[in-house]
């Protein structure tokens, strides 16, 4: 069955992973007196960020409240917005724009989704001008649906807006465990994991994606 829609993750997949997300996550917790390790952070990459914050707090001897979650989240969002707006280190991942052009030339609808809130996603897409360049048709953030990854809500919303009813015509690409499980839960025809982000090839293999790639340009050998 031919591909009509591809859904690409942002940080670690189409946006180069410069460790800024993990560092900002750690800093936001530290400002409220909680030191967290990278080993705690990495498995939570890709999740809706308020959910990830709650999961970390639940491992501490602390009363978890919505107010505390929201304060840490606000701090994280502010730091990431500043980073994505101003840092010279922020770049598309290698091969990203080449593969976006290749996909568009083949008439495949290109969408992106993310565990970030919309505020951060807007900054990323605006900085690279992917919509203005007609490289991306649409994108969605985890705070725009009821359930973030690994639930299929974001993928289902993108299918609906693209007029696609058969999930077998959808390819999902991401760099984390929840990207893989999101694609599987949505019934995507092909689920692709990429090694450019938070998870190693060995870690990704445990979740049994259909393919594991090291560069987005390898999608040219997968998509039909």
Is the model's pLDDT at 224 over the cut of 90?
Answer: no
Is the model's pLDDT at 213 over the cut of 80?
Answer: yes
Arithmetic mean of pLDDT over the chain: 96
What the chain holds in terms of domains, given with CATH numbers, is 5-16+92-221 (3.40.50.1000), 20-86 (1.10.150.240)
Q: According to the model, what pLDDT value does residue 120 have?
A: 97
Q: According to the model, what pLDDT value does residue 82 have?
A: 97
Is the model's pLDDT at 1 over the cut of 90?
Answer: no
The sign of the CA dihedral 91, 97, 98, 103 is positive
Provide the 3-class DSSP secondary structure of residue 52.
helix
**Residue 129 burial class via C-beta count within 10 angstroms: exposed 0-12, middle 13-18, buried 19 and up:** exposed
Torsion of CA 81, 150, 107, 169, to 10 degrees: 180
pLDDT digits (tens, 9 = 90+) for 167-209: 999 999 999 999 999 999 999 999 999 999 989 999 999 999 9
The sign of the CA dihedral 190, 211, 42, 87 is negative
pLDDT band at 36 (very low <50, low <70, confident <90, very high): very high
pLDDT digits (tens, 9 = 90+) for 47-74: 999 999 999 999 998 999 999 999 999 9
Q: Which of 103, 187, 94, 93 is nearest to 137 (CA)?
A: 103
Let me know: does 224 contact 206? Beta carbons within 8 Å. no
Q: In the structure encoding, which two tokens stand for residue 38, read together?
A: 């990278």
Q: According to the model, what pLDDT value does residue 54 have?
A: 96
pLDDT digits (tens, 9 = 90+) for 155-170: 999 999 999 999 999 9
In angstroms, rounded to a whole number, what is the distance separating the alpha carbons of residues 201 and 213? 9
> What backbone torsions phi and psi does residue 92 show, to the nearest 5 degrees?
-60, 145
Please tell me the pTM assigned to this model. Answer: 0.94
In angstroms, rounded to a whole number, what is the distance separating the alpha carbons of residues 14 and 192? 13
DSSP 8-class letter at 92? B
> What backbone torsions phi and psi does residue 166 show, to the nearest 5 degrees?
-105, 110
pLDDT digits (tens, 9 = 90+) for 129-158: 999 999 999 999 999 999 999 999 999 999
Helix (H) or strand (E) run with residue 9 in it: strand 5-9
């Amino acid at each position: 069955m031919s591909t009509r829609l591809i859904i690409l993750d942002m940080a670690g997949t189409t946006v180069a992973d410069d460790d800024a997300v993990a560092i900002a996550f750690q800093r936001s917790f530290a400002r409220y007196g909680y030191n967290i390790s990278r080993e705690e952070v990495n498995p939570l990459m890709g999740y809706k960020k308020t959910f990830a914050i709650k999961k970390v707090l639940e491992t501490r001897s602390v009363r978890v409240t919505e107010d505390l979650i929201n304060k840490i989240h606000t701090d994280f969002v502010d730091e990431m917005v500043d980073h994505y707006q101003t840092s010279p280190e922020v770049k598309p991942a290698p091969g990203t724009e080449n593969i976006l052009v290749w996909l568009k030339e083949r008439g495949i609808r290109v969408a992106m989704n993310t565990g970030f809130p919309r505020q951060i996603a807007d900054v990323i897409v605006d900085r690279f001008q992917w919509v203005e360049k007609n490289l991306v048709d649409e994108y969605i953030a985890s705070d725009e649906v009821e359930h973030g990854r690994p639930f299929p809500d974001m993928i289902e919303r993108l299918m609906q807006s693209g007029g696609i009813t058969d999930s077998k015509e959808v390819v999902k690409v991401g760099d984390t465990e929840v990207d893989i499980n999101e694609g599987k839960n949505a019934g995507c025809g092909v689920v692709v994991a990429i090694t450019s982000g938070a998870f190693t090839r060995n870690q990704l293999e445990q979740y049994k994606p259909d393919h594991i790639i090291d560069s987005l340009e390898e999608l040219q050998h997968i998509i039909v």
